[in-house]
Amino acid sequence: MNGLIQSKKCKYMAKRFLGEESFGRVLQCVKLDTFETVAVKVAERECDRMLWKEAGAVKKMSALDKDRCNLLKYYKIFEYKYCAFISMEMLDISLHYFLNQRYRHPLALFEIQVILKQMLVALSTLKSIGIMHADIKPDNIMLVNQSRQPFKVKLIDFGYATPPVNIPCGAIIQALGYRAPEVMLGIPVTESADMWALGSVAAFLYFGYHLFIHMLGQPNDRILEKGKHSKKYFWKRKGIMKDTWVLKTPAQYSVSTGTVIKRSKTITCMEDLAKHHPQPNTESEVEDTVAFLSLLKWMLCVDPVKRITPVEGLGHRFITVKHLPEVPAVDCYAESSRMSMKVCPPLSLENEIENFVTSSEIIKSENRAEEDLDCLPLLTTARLQLKSKETDRKEQLHATTISLYLVGLHGMQKMTCLVGWVSKKHMI
């Protein structure tokens, strides 16, 4: 592929096909006047209007510092041979592709931590200018340069980005696996739907697979009564005092819609989610797991009004890592977590975040204590497993020490070599 693409001021040489975004294909190109490598999206002819709509959203973001806000940089939009093109910065690979490269092996918590922090900054920035992304998914979160800046990410593809007031009530937006309950039920949508989608992305990174999330209870009657599509998923059971909304069984849903439901992994509670992830190895990792599940619960709150906001998320302890030891040498996990955070640009919302941290437990979340108690069985189990691991290691180390003593009777040099090998192998 060596096709020429030309705008009024410069020419681009197309080098290879990168993939597809909403309403268009993306090509890797070389800008011939500067020899800079860029990405160029070309819209199908019938989708030109959508690309110009994306350009409108990009214009609203023009004053933002894209690197600081973790948003994709757009350069120019132009027409060539009756097609619309938009040039943008060249990034590495998407989180979806990255996970596929790892054979869907879940990310470590501190890796999810740094990704979430950057995306919360991006969403808080979009919310500040009255825009929702409306298509958050692993394909639209890209690593900038994984080899040089591990887990430095940016949010891409603003083809659906729009002010929430422009989204008709009942309109279907967002990818299915990341679609917020209010979208599915057909009630008015706000930027809060992006937080649900980001929570679903976090669960995907933690687990390695797409999940059917059915863990936080059903929406309350107020939400269900307002929903245009509520009867697609729920039915009303007649009662003496009042009717009750009941979630349809898979069989009932199939009968009413004609849709065959495929079996998938279903998570009914946070503890179930943690069972499918490698067990924590240190006390800090146990605490971090509980903090992560706490944040995830707030992001996947079925009531959009109660769902945590991006700025509030930045003040959550999983993102601030204030629950981890201050002295890195005490815990290798805590050190890894703090080191990974160095890729994040300095925040410009520090005062706002501090205010949330000091007041949220009283004002925003009356049930914060109950929320942490939900994770108590996980915390207890993980600590017991951690204690068991430490006991096994100590017993193994003790047995090895005895054998080393016996070897030492036959030669100190051989014992010295073995001690070095044991200290590395049994390092906690």
Burial class for 310, CB neighbours closer than 10 Å (0-12, 13-18, 19+): buried
Which among 115, 113, 69, 86 has a CA at the least distance from the CA of 25? 86
Burial class for 105, CB neighbours closer than 10 Å (0-12, 13-18, 19+): exposed
Q: Tokens representing 237?
A: 């059971």
Say whether 194 is catalytic: no
CB 246, CB 234: distance < 8 Å: yes
Active-site residue (options: 135, 194, 331, 374): 135
CB 43, CB 24: distance < 8 Å: yes
Residue carrying structure tokens 């706490």:
294
Alpha carbon distance 154, 92 (integer Å): 10
Alpha carbon distance 239, 242 (integer Å): 5
State phi, psi for 23 to the nearest 5 degrees. 70, 15
Residue 70 Cα to chain centre, angstroms: 14
- What 3-state class would DSSP assign to 133? coil
State the catalytic residues.
135
